């Protein structure tokens, strides 16, 4: 009888712990995605994410020699922000570009994401105190700024123009759902 009560109590406690953990994770995901969701429609939200990543680059580029731990933490933040951003773009926006005949743009931008992954890998392998670390960060940032400029000034406005209001709304929702997957 005591063993049965103990087993039942354990099961209830485990279920409560699991439920609390899942709820906490859901809240965390919403918290991470909230700035994007509050930024507005898909193109405005992605532009806001671009600015947020550039702010992280500002912070890492402002570090001084001896701030290896800070550089590592900022690089991790950059990597996470870019992974979430890439998921949103690749699975929602670039897919929509392809559907609407803008395959070359989708392929080019998707190819840029491959270089982003390469930069993140190379920087992750490089010691943050390496004399060329900040130079590599600068090269990475320059590549990203060109990618962002192309999206914000050319590709996104062109796509927005061919989509109906309903399609733009649907793309915003789809993009936010993709962001929640990795948030």
Residue 43: pLDDT over 90: yes
pLDDT above 70 coverage of the chain, percent: 81
For residue range 165-182, what is the model confidence (pLDDT) as tens digits?
Answer: 999 999 999 999 999 888
DSSP for 3-21?
HHHHHHHHHHHHHHHHHHH
Q: Tell the residue number behind the tokens 């080019």, with chain if given.
A: 108
Region of poorest pLDDT, from 7-16, 74-83, 123-132, 135-144: 7-16
Residue 101 phi, psi dihedral angles, 5° rounding:
80, 10
- pLDDT of 32: 53
- In a 3-state reduction of DSSP, which class is residue 49? helix
| pTM score of the predicted model | 0.83
What single-letter DSSP state applies at residue 66? T
pLDDT in tens, 54-89: 999 999 999 999 999 999 999 999 999 999 999 999
């Amino acid at each position: 009888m005591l063993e049965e009560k103990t087993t039942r109590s354990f099961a209830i406690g485990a279920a409560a712990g699991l439920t609390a953990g899942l709820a906490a994770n859901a809240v965390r995901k919403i918290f991470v995605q909230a700035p994007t969701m509050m930024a507005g429609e898909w193109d405005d939200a992605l532009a806001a994410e671009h600015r947020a990543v550039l702010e992280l680059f500002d912070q890492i580029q402002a570090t001084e020699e001896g701030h290896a731990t800070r550089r590592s933490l900022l690089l991790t933040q950059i990597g996470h922000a870019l992974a979430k951003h890439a998921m949103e773009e690749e699975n929602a926006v670039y897919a929509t570009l392809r559907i609407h005949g803008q395959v070359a743009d989708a392929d080019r931008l998707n190819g840029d994401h491959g270089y982003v992954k390469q930069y993140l890998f190379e920087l992750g392998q490089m010691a943050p105190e390496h004399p060329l670390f900040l130079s590599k960060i600068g090269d990475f940032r320059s590549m990203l700024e060109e990618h962002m400029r192309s999206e914000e000034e050319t590709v996104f406005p062109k796509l927005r123009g061919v989509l109906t209001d309903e399609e733009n709304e649907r793309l915003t929702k789809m993009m936010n759902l993709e962001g929640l997957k990795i948030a």
